[in-house]
Structure 1
């Protein structure tokens, strides 16, 4: 194989034969280039690390993400080590990219538009300077820090202070709200534009169970329910156990004669977006309404509405924002309205009691979208008790 095909052969004289080492090097370079182009513009492989999408997607599902569905995103940080996201292999802190060249957000044409309830892979939207500011000058940093639980703070600080958009962590959720939608959750039920939202047929929900024996489910029962374990709560006299169950599993538990009831998370939660529980006493199960920004749409701004769109205005759309009393200044001019420059989306996990999603960190900008989850190509189950390959999930389309 000749990489530099445009160079003419020298006239006359014998041609020098390539060594085996040179042939292997040329082949390796060619393979890396082709694989990088496929990974950048066609599809990419991902693995499910957590249970936030149970049972639509399971831990240790390996899937392909289609980048041509919505149109491949042109790399914004082109100088990067092949096949690495943000750190070099076998290291924890060494960057795998250089910011010497930064390209603006652009996306090639795709085969479809983003539709409500698509399962989408995207870059985590909170790795920005507002949330991670160490200077103490950013009001958003203080609001978020003051109102987050220790667990939520730990999750947010697990990322470095700043990375380029296309080098942030990759997450996968269901896009339950597209640009222009209004999202609300009432008693655990999702509503989109005032109508009941999508309910995944095999989604998990937290339930409290009080068994007749007073003990947690045994190994056989857990296997029948497809569980990996629960945890005990309460006193010895009124012990109950919390499990994440599907509707079918709930029906089976009831047949066993155990007492079961929903475990709604209706208490006010610190760390819930927009991070101000004094004004917005919301939780995972009682939330909203929230308007999802649409490109070209205009919202009226005041100090009550601003917390929802502060990060959009400052970090995603790169404006200067200042608040003086009840007055809002954008780029030095007092304003009472703002027109959005990008489309945004609202993401939620199918396992909605065990998912950190838009209810915690708000909107996902269009420049953070990577692609549409397409097909599961490999899957296995692993616990401290057993290991097996989930053959039935091979080449399953993701819906």
Structure 2
């Protein structure tokens, strides 16, 4: 029996000391791998580039988005440059030649009404899902719900859906002709959409500041801007003259749900062909007196995914589901949970930090 491992003369080999360069390389590799795992499975940071979610989220807010809440979506585009935008300096940062099927890890919950959700814009067909523009909106309806908008109020399954605490919309403001001090608009976060006359304006006004504006002596009246029922907006989903809908009077529309079966007729084709063809990758056709699905005559269709309805809290300054329709589940990225930093782009470098929004939970 060999007892050499008990021998006092059996000396361990001295460790080779790493060079400073090797230590830095190892540290960078570890940091890259750790950041990739955290960003892919747990959290991602996003910036708010526009005002569609004001006053809940402001332009210049920086968010943490939880990917594990709904379950992390695995990469679809296999080859891309990490931590970059899909396009930089006019060149793509990914190669779409190899794409993996949609797969999501189990999450702690599902998308709920009222959640502030980050997702990929569904109308950008021809681009891999995970390389499409990233948007943030509030979920107004989930799969299986019936959604209607009546005079700018959202109804879900016949009941009014509570508005976001900081929701805002546009108003017609009539004055006595006296000019405003421009500082008023900055202080009250009011945006002038247009001015139709010397004393008539359309303004987007935060609900918290509406009473303050009404108190000014030169204000004669403030009334909400609401597109009347029956007045069709060609830009509004489903872009079909059969449906005379607009952003303030819309629906009813049933959100597709996985396993839900619909009859195929002219109305359902107008409402759901985008989901059937673009999102669930089928081929619809029309024959004498009926429809075909992937070349076979069909009278019904059963959905393969769940779908959601997303709208901005700034109702009259948001391109959302009212324009491009429902959001498929494979476009969902995660739930916005906290504003970790915020800067005001309209102020100087020193004074632009919004200290009251740092580490602020998103509701």
TM-score (structure 1 length as normaliser): 0.82
Moved more, 343-352 or 197-206: 197-206
Match of 1:8 in 2: none
CA positional deviation for 1:325: 4.9
Match of 2:196 among 230, 234, 248: 234
* 1:249 partnered with 2:209: yes
Q: For 1:244 and 1:211, how far apart are their aligned partners in 2?
A: 16
Whether 1:20 and 2:17 are equivalent positions in the alignment is: no
Equivalent-residue separation in structure 1 for 2:116 and 2:254 (angstroms): 20
Three-state SS of the structure 2 residue aligned to 1:78 is: strand
Contact 1:119-1:372 at 8 Å conserved across structures: yes
Partner of 1:134: none
Matched, 1:93 2:90: yes
Give the conservation status (yes or no) of the 8 Å contact 2:346–2:352. Answer: no
Paired residues for 1:104-253 under 5 Å: 104-128=101-125, 162-215=126-179, 217-227=180-190, 229-236=191-198, 239-253=199-213
1:262-315 CA-to-partner distances (Å, cap 9, x unmatched) read 112334211211111x21121100111111000001111201220211111111
Match of 1:280 in 2: 243
SS of match in other structure, 2:343? strand
Distance 1:319 1:250, change over 3 A: same
Residue range with higher mean Cα deviation, 242-251 or 338-347: 242-251
Q: Does the residue aligned with 2:197 lie in a helix, a strand or coil?
A: coil
Aligned CA distance change for structure 1 residues 270 and 385 (closer, same or farther; 3 Å): farther
| 2:315 is equivalent to residue 352 of structure 1 | yes
Match of 1:307 in 2: 270
TM-fit CA distance, 1:224: 3.9
Deviation, 1:95, is: 2.0
CA distance in 2 between counterparts of 1:337 and 1:367 reads 23
Give the number of equivalent residue pairs.
348
Q: C-alpha separation between the residues in 2 aligned to 1:393 and 1:177?
A: 28
Higher Cα radius of gyration:
2
Q: TM-score, normalised by structure 2?
A: 0.90
| Residues 79 and 99 in structure 1, CA contact (< 8 A), matched pair in contact too | yes
Counterpart contact for 2:189–2:206, Cα < 8 Å: no
Aligned pair 1:296/2:259, yes or no? yes
1: CA distance, partners of 2:273 / 2:156: 23
Q: Matches of 2:18 and 2:348 in 1, distance apart?
A: 53
Q: Deviations over 1:89-120 (max 9, x none)?
A: xx333222223432111111111121111110
Q: Structure 2: any 5+ residue segments left out of the alignment?
A: 1-10
Work out which of the residue numbers 347, 354, 358 in structure 2 matches 1:390.
Answer: 354
2:204 is paired with a residue of what secondary structure? strand
RMSD, matched Cα = 2.0
Task: Tell whether 2:32 aligns with 1:32.
Answer: yes
- Is this contact kept in 2: 1:186–1:287, CA < 8 A? yes
